Amino acid sequence: MEDYILIKPTMEYAEQIAEYRKAFLESGDSMDGTGPLRRMTDPGEYISFCETCEMRATVPENLVPATQFLFIRTFDNKLVGMIQIRHELNDFLKLYGGHIGYSVRPGERRKGYARKMLKKALPYCAEIGINKVLVTCIAGNVGSEKTILANGGVYESTVYEPGAKVNLKRFWIAINPIC
Ligand SMILES: CC(C)(COP(=O)(O)OP(=O)(O)OC[C@H]1O[C@@H](n2cnc3c(N)ncnc32)[C@H](O)[C@@H]1OP(=O)(O)O)[C@@H](O)C(=O)NCCC(=O)NCCS
């Protein structure tokens, strides 16, 4: 059995999704890579929303299709991280958001999980036809920058995002296409 797996959200993890959300609300950290989890108090509603976001036919008009994964530590079936893969880039994502967002549960940081989670997500990107992955992070987010670099990220530029009033560093990860 693998030590860690990426799986799509299901009701089996409803309680852990709610706990994950609570931990981030308490820590005040940004809930990156979770889509609209911050504003959804009902994990069931969140799980169905994630499903509708995967396909162009059902994703809300203002969003691009995206796949949500839970990063599960298999020995104790614990949700330790979350990662979202956007299938395409709209104007905002092209400049600021990138293809991938992720986060690790506050109590589980500095154990290499972000690095492992991003690594596991890259083959899925290739599977859905993304061979050059744009990943961005706020300048000064050392943990995220190291995560991107450890996964082959090549720095391209830094841009100012006026909405959040932050400088964002942009990196590209090239992955081998699946033949
Ligand atoms: C950024 C984040 C995902 C890192 O998760 P993590 O599981 O702690 O990261 P890892 O343990 O895989 O660490 C990756 C590297 O960053 C380093 N690192 C992690 N957090 C760090 C921190 N706060 N300060 C300095 N270095 C840090 C690790 O030591 C490791 O370095 P190494 O490759 O030299 O060993 C996590 O802090 C988080 O969820 N933050 C809030 C959301 C967020 O910022 N998401 C990223 C959006 S782009």
Q: Show contacts of 90-96: CB within 8 Å, 24+ apart.
A: 90/64, 93/64, 93/134, 94/134, 95/159, 95/161, 96/136, 96/159, 96/161, 96/168
Answer for the pair 44, 123: CB distance below 8 angstroms, yes or no.
no
pTM across the whole model: 0.97
The yes or no reply on domain 4-174 and CATH 2.60.40.1180 is no
Check whether 51 has a pLDDT greater than 80.
yes
Task: Tell me how far the alpha carbon of residue 6 is from its chain's centroid.
Answer: 11
Q: Using the atom order of ligand 1, give the atom closest to the CA of residue 136.
A: 48
Residue-wise pLDDT for 63-84, tens only, equals: 999 999 999 999 999 999 999 9
**C-alpha to C-alpha distance for 142 and 60, rounded to whole angstroms:** 33
Identify whether the C-beta of residue 86 lies closer than 8 Å to the C-beta of residue 100: yes
Q: Which amino acid is at 85?
A: I
User: Where are the chain's structural domains?
Assistant: 4-174
CB 100 within 8 A of CB 118: yes
**Res 17 pLDDT > 70:** yes
User: How far, in Å, is the centroid of ligand 1 from the Cα of 114?
Assistant: 6
Q: Whose CA is nearest to atom 22 of ligand 1?
A: 143
Q: Would the pLDDT of 133 be above 70?
A: yes
If one residue of 105, 110, 171 were mutated to test the ligand 1 pocket, choosing by the most ligand atoms within 8 A of its CB, it would be 110
Pairing of strands 100-104, 66-73: unpaired
pLDDT at 179 > cutoff 80: no
